[in-house]
Structure 1
Amino acid sequence: MAGQDVTPLHGGPGDDTDFDRVDPSRAEQDFRALREEWRPADEAVAAVPFTHEIDFRGEAMSLRMAYLHLIGEYSRHNGHADLLREALDGVTGR
């Protein structure tokens, strides 16, 4: 959105190798790194109106739609986590 060239932290689109490097002992450190990654992203769009559009893979995408996409992705991944939890503990329908 801000027109900055940012190098992907975890390999980029189509590269899922970061899942192969999961280390539970680093969970707190990795969570802090995620929170720190959000800060410059928030700063980059702080003055950008929600209606501002960019060309995203040949399609117009507004900042509002980028946020909606992120919300959808988080929801989808939380749903996956819930299915895994359900498979482990057997509790459903809460």
Structure 2
Amino acid sequence: MTIKRTDPATNADERSTLEGFLDYHRQTLELKCADLDDAQLRTASVPPSELSLMGLVRHMADVERNWFRRVLANEDAGPLHYSDEDPDGEFHLTDTDTWEDAYAAWQAEMAAARSNAARFALDDVSEGRSRLIEEPITLRWIYNHMIEEYARHNGHADLLRERLDGATGE
């Protein structure tokens, strides 16, 4: 699988810069998962951790869904992979969970995120609210938070990928 990763523009306006960095980090996670089989994508880092590349992708699908659908657009979009009973469910893979399903859900949530974000200016406040943050949240804050979230998890993905097959790099 060939993944095209685009460097963010170095001389763009603020919104294009934020969207460019977010897409760059989305593509980086996709790159870390490229050309691996199902068993590799489900391989946990080290006991007792259940962290895996497939789990990270499932987690990011839910993170995209939360911030861009529930918080930004106030959509009634429940979690995909976790529940009140299993708050880390995205990392608890079962035999029926597949990479195809995880990847498709992630792609769908990124598409919904882009569509919802297009309706807002950077300073517009969210129509919904976060369960963790009481005050209104701007799209600018959501973009910055998502960049941070992907950057942190891409560090995890770097280590997972290197452990699987020795591949390193950006």
CA deviation string 1:10-39 (max 9, x = no partner): 22588112211156x822332122101222
Gap regions ≥5 residues in structure 1: none
Q: Report whether the alignment pairs 1:82 with 2:158.
A: yes
Q: Identity over the aligned pairs, expressed in percent?
A: 40
With a CA cutoff of 8 Å and minimum separation of 6, indicate the structure with the bigger relative contact order. 2
Alignment equivalent of 1:32, drawn from 74, 88, 104: 104
CA deviation string 1:20-59 (max 9, x = no partner): 1156x82233212210122223222322111112354212
Q: Partners in 2 of 1:64 and 1:81 — Cα distance?
A: 25
Q: Report whether the alignment pairs 1:52 with 2:124.
A: yes
Change (3 A) 1:8 1:91: closer
Contact 2:123 2:140 in 1 (8 A): yes
Q: Partners in 2 of 1:36 and 1:93 — Cα distance?
A: 27
Alignment equivalent of 1:15, drawn from 87, 107, 119: 87
1:88 Cα deviation from its structure 2 partner: 5.5
How many pairs align?
94
Normalising by structure 2, report the TM-score: 0.44
Greater percentage in strand = 1
RMSD: 3.0
